[in-house]
Amino acid sequence: MKILFPDMTPFASIKGVALKQGTIRKEGPVLFPQYPWEGIHAYLYGSVLEREGQLRMWYQSYTTEDYFFVNYARSRDGKIWEKPLLNKWRVDEKQLYPMPGTGGKDQSEFRSGSPGYWKTNIVSTYHIPSVIYDADDPTAPYKLFGFTDKGYQVAFSRDGIRFKEYAGNPVIPLMRFPNPKTKKTWVSDVSPVFKDPLKKKFVAHVKTYVIDHEERTRRSVGYSESDDFIRWSQPETIWTPSEADDRLAVARGFKWADFYGLCGFNYGRGYLGLLWLFYLNYEFAKGTHEGKIEVFLATSPDGKKWSRLSDEPFIPLSASGWDSGMITTANLPLFRKERIDLYYGGSNFSHGIGNAQLRYDEGSHRFSVGLATLRKDGFVYATGSKGVMTTKPLDSQKGTIEINTDATQGRVMIDLMKGGRSIGLYRIEGLDASDHCIRTGVKGEITLKVSVEGAKLYSLEVC
């Protein structure tokens, strides 16, 4: 059994232990807008999967508020990305941007030979897409979920490049949320999706809205689930912003905070999520809100009751530069053998730029893709000056214990108990290892008394 924090249910007693979020390392941008149908936007909303010996990315671009695309890219190393022109797509040339450096004079490389069709890396015209790989469906393992003006729609593909839309779309009709005071009607658009192996269901964290006591429309997190990716439950609101979230915004110089989106996923026996927290300055008389977005780590025991783990952002905005305005993330982290990769969208302009009152600076504004990395099992760690955790009975089949810890500034001690008595004491000190193996030779039912003194304990597995 592997224990991943923040899940503390495997422990019978806990004393002096604190849970802290791990530290990411950012780099980028690794992918940026360059094609005429990308405009100044080539970013995540979207997905990154590791399939067929390479990384595959489905990312968002758009040139106007009505002209969205889902585009495809691939990479061997996750840092250098190719955008193969694999699909012919009908595009309206009036909606396209000139290529940087060409002055719009030479677009011949994209001409397909068919009038109105271009050679592109476009796979869909959904907004805020999620692509998941479903190994249980060999005929159409790539499943696409996204937003359109009709509501949420789905499409299916064998290869992840050529998608066929479901004939019964929309699977969730357009949801409207009117505000009588402002006389505005908001619609649900954000919709990160994942396949939940614990519940054996597909889950969509669709955006919903509530009206607060000040009669403001507040972005919130909704929940819908499906057994087959086609029939979805009626969305329900499961998480709304609180005064604590507003205080975070005020502390950063903004007025209040909304939940722009939540990318939830399974982690051990529970759930973690990447919460896009939207700091708001003001609402436009016509249109949206002005503000910035950064990412916080959230946790849930059941996928519906959520809370932020920390008041510090997990993927913070930079003070300046390419990701200083907004950060959004791929729908799922990419769990590699020795690390966790989190691809994210980063902009150098705030939310609301592009509104009629705040035009884009097409020469400088960009929304691109970056990479944040985290050590293996590194989302959350347990620590303390003299922390002690005693497990419930565990079954050891191989007589080994695997530890992921940074004990360079402290130590972890494991007291192995069987039948109520100590039969072995193991000390890890001066070591930083993601897969340190202790061979105890003891099999059957055991209990561990784990002491953490200044170290960071990321995971513990009894094998």
127-185 pLDDT per residue, tens: 999 999 999 999 999 999 999 999 999 999 999 999 999 999 999 999 999 999 999 99
Same domain (yes/no): 211, 184: yes
Judgement on whether residues 95 and 175 belong to the same structural domain of the protein: yes
In a shared domain, residues 164 and 122: yes
pLDDT above 70 coverage of the chain, percent? 96
436 with 337, same domain: the answer is no
Domain stops at, among 308, 343, 376: 376
pLDDT at position 412, please? 98
Q: Please tell me the predicted confidence (pLDDT) of residue 63.
A: 82
Count: domains in the chain: 2
Tens digits of per-residue pLDDT, 380-396?
999 999 999 999 999 99
Same domain, 372 and 390: no
| 6 and 36 belong to one structural domain | no
Is 428 found in the same domain as 350?
A: no
Do 444 and 359 share a structural domain? no
Confidence check: pLDDT of 104 > 50:
no
- For 393-414, the pLDDT digits (tens) are 999 999 999 999 999 999 999 9
Among 347, 376, 405, residue at a domain's last position? 376
Q: How far apart are CA 27 and CA 24, in angstroms?
A: 10
For residue 107, the model assigns a pLDDT of 67
% of the chain beyond a pLDDT of 90:
86
Q: Are residues 257 and 168 in the same domain?
A: yes
CATH number at residue 417: 2.60.120.260
pLDDT above 70: residue 259 = yes
Is 390 in the same domain as 360? Answer: no
For the segment 200-237, what is each residue's pLDDT rounded down to a tens digit?
Answer: 999 999 999 999 999 999 999 999 999 999 999 999 99
Q: Is the pLDDT of residue 103 over 70?
A: no
Query: Interior CA angle at 320 toward 316 and 322, to 5°?
Result: 80
Q: What mean pLDDT value characterizes the chain?
A: 94
Same domain, 347 and 397: no
Among the candidates 360, 376, 392, a domain finishes at 376
- Are 263 and 390 in the same domain? no
Domain of 266: which CATH number? 2.115.10.20
Instruction: Give, in order, the Cα–Cα distances in Å from 81 to each of 30, 47, 75, 398.
Output: 7, 14, 5, 42
CB 208 within 8 A of CB 175: yes
Domain of 392, in residue numbers: 2-21+381-462
| pTM attached to this predicted model | 0.95
**65 pLDDT band (50/70/90 cuts)?**
low
pLDDT for res 285: 84
